[in-house]
Amino acid sequence: MVSDTDVQQLIYRTTVEQGRPPRSTDVAARLGIDAAAAIDAFKRLNSRRLLALAPESGEIVMAPPFSAVPTPFVVTAGWQSYFANCVWDSFGIAAALHQDTDVETSCACCGEAMTLRVRGGSPEPTPGIAHFAVPAAHWWDDITYT
């Protein structure tokens, strides 16, 4: 019997290895279940706020702090690059991986390129302001917008 924890661990292991969360067919093949069972597990994990899913397909769009789709926050750790959902998640990727990271992004106001760095578990001081349009208590009201 494959548990939701098995599915979640495979999602994160695959994400770290490949740079993005897997599709349901990949999870199904690796765990020996059918794709519908993988989607059902995704939905249960989503109900616990552990994944964000595309409403049309049920596929993963976010395995926080990792994004399954390209975003303006490209996080590089060693040889692998990841997309983060926002600047906050960029730092979350560094924390999740326990690695130094570089984040390539741009200023949302003027479009100027920015590089943010995490070294030894701490962000390096960088001029700028992070603006969160939605209070943290409401991020999961619409996590893909937030």
Is the model's pLDDT at 99 over the cut of 90?
Answer: yes
Question: Distance (Å, rounded) from C-alpha 2 to C-alpha 106?
Answer: 41
Instruction: Report the predicted TM-score, pTM, of the whole model to 2 decimal places.
Output: 0.90
| 67 burial type by CB count under 10 A (0-12 exposed, 13-18 middle, 19+ buried) | buried
User: Across-strand partners of 52?
Assistant: 62
In this prediction, residues 81-107 reach a mean pLDDT of 95
Supply the pLDDT for residue 27. 98
Per-residue confidence band for 129, with pLDDT thresholds at 50, 70 and 90: confident
Angle at 55 between CA 25 and CA 136, to 5 degrees: 110
In the sheet with 52-53, reading across from the earlier edge strand, the strands are: 52-53, 60-63, 66-67, 80-84, 73-77, 101-106, 113-119, 122-123
Tell me which residue has tokens 């695959």.
14
Q: Which two tokens stand for residue 40?
A: 């059902």
In this prediction, residues 73-79 reach a mean pLDDT of 96
Rg (CA), the chain: 16
The tens digit of pLDDT for each residue in 24-59 reads: 999 999 999 999 999 999 999 999 999 999 999 999
Q: Percentage of the chain with pLDDT > 90? A: 79
The tens digit of pLDDT for each residue in 101-113 reads: 999 999 888 889 9
Best CA proximity match to 104, nearest among 79, 82, 129, 73: 73
Is the model's pLDDT at 144 over the cut of 80?
Answer: no
In this prediction, residues 8-35 reach a mean pLDDT of 97
Supply the pLDDT for residue 146. 67
Please state, as a whole number, how many other Cβ atoms lie within 10 Å of the Cβ of residue 139: 17
